Amino acid sequence: MAPEGPGGGPRLWGGRFDGGTDAAVARLNNSLPFDRRLWREDLAGSVAHATMLGEAGILPAPEAEAIVEALREIEADLASGAVDLDPDAEDVHTAVEALLRQRIGPLAGKLHTARSRNDQVVTDARLFARSAVDTIAEEIVALQGVLLELAEREAATTMPGYTHMQHAQPILLAHHLLAYFWMLQRDRERLADARKRIDLLPLGAGALAGSPYPVDRERVAEILGFGGILENSLDAVSDRDFAIETLADAAILAMHLSRFAEDLVLWNTLEFGFVELDDSVTTGSSMMPQKKNPDVAELARGKSGRVFGNLMALLTVMKGLPLSYNKDMQEDKEPLFDTVDTLLVVLPAFRRMLETASFGRERMARALRGDFSTATDLADSLVRGGMAFRDAHGAVGRLVRHCVETGTALDEMDAQAMARAAPELARVDAGAATVAASVAARRVRGGTAPDAVREQLARARAALGAVV
């Protein structure tokens, strides 16, 4: 039997040790409280490893088959709740092997032939990360789909576009929404690219130096669906780049959601009134009965901090570690788990918030009245008449100052009134200062003109349907 730890659980390493582990050290050392969630990945890796051991003749085929059959039974029993992992086990690997030993006795000890916990644990983590990025990508696609539907619905809605949180130029609401579509598209592409580096098998690297047995690493990779194997055993057991890259991509995604959330929080205020969030995605105040709070947006914004922190935590863990494996690397899992869990809570709620949102079209249109956001269009009108842009900029700037001083809006002035304010404007096309003309003028690919936005929507639809 494997030696026992202080809590009665088995250990896989106690042969050279005289006594038990101190209880305080065991509490520090044990990872089962968080790595227990890897039991599916651990069983999958063990089934693949045992299958290979039998096929390669490292274990007699009947023994390998018995191990595989027992592992599959354990998987079914854990999934159904018929059995549970020993809470006193040191980690998920020890707990799974203990269940195996209960079923097939000493034969369970042969499963660890040609394998170390060092290559085993990172295999589990890679399997988890690969599945996680796939699930997150599916959630991103669903959110992008909602954005496309909203953009199509709001294709004729105009609103102020902002720089420095000041009214800048008129845009279509659809154009604003599509900006976030393309941010999410890059997030999806980043995750797909990271997946290529996640999808490499470390098993077979042993503790650090490789295996003295004739293991078939390619066969294990095939069984587990990995796209390839890691070429250096030291790198295989000590690399956590795949987790760091996943966390970095997740941090960028969380940043995008936080920016979008900030827009929605502002737009949902009484001062803006650009969006109304449904009762089903908002909450009230325990004191103020009139309140309707945009909690989903605020929590998406707030939870970006923990996602950023998880990335920094793992970078800090790894930054000073010599080759190859060090127990510090046990700290890779909680940041990864927490980030995945966070995103898989935020993304569906964010999607639902948008699905049920209604936009204040009239409030957006009213916000454009008298806001001088078409001033650049007047300058461009002068440029088309032959004036240098800097001169046109100065002339329109004086006109704006005149309007501010007299309390007049640009769209209230005809060409004669403009010329009285700034003689250079005698040749200006006053019609260029309307919101509709301003928006329509920006037909360049990627611009906010209705035709350009329709083309952008078509490209977005194609991008959403493409395999990343």
Residues annotated as catalytic (active site), given as ranges: 164, 285
- Which stretch of DSSP H or E encloses residue 73? helix 61-80
Residues 6+ apart with CB under 8 A from 151: 173, 174, 175, 177, 178, 181, 453, 457, 460
Contact (CB, 8 A) for 258 and 300: yes
Tell me the two tokens of residue 131.
């599945």
What does the alpha-carbon distance between residue 43 and residue 279 come to, in Å, rounded to a whole number? 44
Tell me the two tokens of residue 371.
């806001």
- Which stretch of DSSP H or E encloses residue 346? helix 333-355
What does the alpha-carbon distance between residue 209 and residue 190 come to, in Å, rounded to a whole number? 32
What does the alpha-carbon distance between residue 396 and residue 421 come to, in Å, rounded to a whole number? 9
- The owner of tokens 């700037």 is 397
> Diameter of the chain by CA atoms?
100
3-state helix, strand, coil in the chain (%, to 5): 65, 5, 30
What does the alpha-carbon distance between residue 197 and residue 242 come to, in Å, rounded to a whole number? 6
What does the alpha-carbon distance between residue 346 and residue 303 come to, in Å, rounded to a whole number? 8
- The owner of tokens 């449904």 is 278
Measured over the CA atoms of residue 220, residue 224, residue 228 and residue 229, the dihedral's sign is: negative
From the list 149, 360, 180, the residue with the least C-alpha distance to 259 is 180
Amino acid symbol at 457 = L
